[in-house]
Amino acid sequence: MVEHPRPALYGVLGHPVVASRSPDIHRAAYQAMGWTHCHYVPVDTMPHRLTEVIAAFTALGGRGLNITIPLKAAVLGLPFMHSRDPWVLRAGVANTLARRPDGSWEAFNTDGPALYGALAHRAVEPRRVLVLGGGGAARASVLAVQATAETVVVATRTPVAWVGALDVPACRRVAWADALRWVPEADVIINATPLGQEGRASWDPVPRFQPGQCVVDWVYGDAPTRLVQQAQADGAAIIDGRELLVRQAAGAWARWFGDGAPVSAMAGAVGLAGTGWSS
């Protein structure tokens, strides 16, 4: 008698998740591996329902979760959270959960390592960094560049306490109105806001860049975003949000299954097949 693996459920939690490409990425990965027992679903939920939703997910056989806006900090307060990796402990946000055999969960942050890997792949050593945004991706971004950065300027619409709490001496906050003034001064510009995301406000005006700069956009769509297109037109290096999404998905895979994520299949699911970065 042939034994079949037990069905295993994975998914992404957030609000909204209708535009998330994580299901496409992970389903493509399962198909590449020939795994018919793994299933990946989007779950739209708000912070006040997290406990009941994850409890139900666990009861249905849930083994792993990706976490997105606005839940990256909220999940850390759940009563069944067992442990946190070093990136989570410093950033105070998680984007990946893995279920332990006893039913509790472990929290990981694969956003920071994703950006760190993308910069290292291009041999970019950030010195003067501008981070736009105050959410979880912004926190992870600051930690990803801190090793080489001499200055990290974080531009947010409202004051955020985490700038000081991260304990990154080079990091300081400026008002959003001053953000564009810092663009020419930076060698790496990181958009960690939802600006340009489908259904959200867009850039007005779009920043202009210079050759030699590296522009990172955490926002992604079916094609390069308006910010990425402008950076390309201006001769700057770019890190597309789709690449970051695949890199963090590969990081989540490692927490769920170990090494050996089918990165080429993951990249192909978001239109990045053959781009040569997948390492």
CA torsion 114→119→125→127, rounded to 10°?
-70
- The one catalytic residue in 63, 72, 139, 247 is 72
Q: Cα separation of 189 and 204, whole Å?
A: 17
Q: State the CB neighbour count (10 A cutoff) for residue 141.
A: 31
Q: Which residues of 219-243 are buried (b: 16+ CB within 10 A; e: fewer)?
A: bbbeebbbbbebbeebebbbbbbbb
72 catalytic? Reply is: yes
Q: Which residues are CB-contacts of 169 (< 8 A; sequence separation ≥ 6)?
A: none
12 DSSP β-pair partners: 42, 66
What is the distance in angstroms between the CA of the first residue and the CA of the last residue of the chain?
39
Q: Cα separation of 273 and 276, whole Å?
A: 8
Q: Which residues are CB-contacts of 205 (< 8 A; sequence separation ≥ 6)?
A: 180
> Could you give phi then psi for residue 99, rounded to 5 degrees?
-85, 135
Lookup: tokens for 147: 């090793």
The burial of 52, by beta-carbon neighbours within 10 Å (0-12 exposed, 13-18 middle, 19 or more buried), is given as exposed
3-state secondary structure of 106: strand
Catalytic residues: 72
